[in-house]
Homo-oligomer: A and B are copies of this chain.
């Protein structure tokens, strides 16, 4: 399984929201522009994030997204797996039937180990931490827009 662009966009989106705080509503358009994500594509991604309980979507005029949980309770693993499903490095570890392997395959064991490490590292990265430090969305991005400065 691959870490797709959709997963990267998801991380950017949640990070952007985290920088604004838990309950601040941000329009899809703003997020899309600031994170360099195609707007309609972001809509798809947000739906998955909403299903996973990570953000809430407000429809209608002045709609947008807002983080549902405290950024310290959201980590990269949760966000990424909300989009691409459980991370696995290769087919071998996912569908043993595609492999001539017995259950105790030494190569398989290595793949599993690597997979665990990736998942653990992502799990430890909370968005509270990420938002505190420099990040993808800042300072390359300008500071959050105020209502008076909304892009038309």
Contacts and interface: CB of A to CB of B under 8 A. Distances in A.
Interface residues on A, range: 35 or more
B105 A135 contact: yes
A130 to B, nearest CB: 5
A118 interface: yes
Interface string A4-38: 01011001100100000000000000000011100
A50 to B, nearest CB: 21
Interface of A: 1-3, 5, 7-8, 11-12, 15, 34-36, 76, 89-92, 99-102, 104-111, 113-114, 117-118, 121-122, 125, 129-130, 132-141
Q: Closest 5 interchain pairs by CB? A: A106-B133, A3-B90, A2-B2, A117-B117, A114-B121
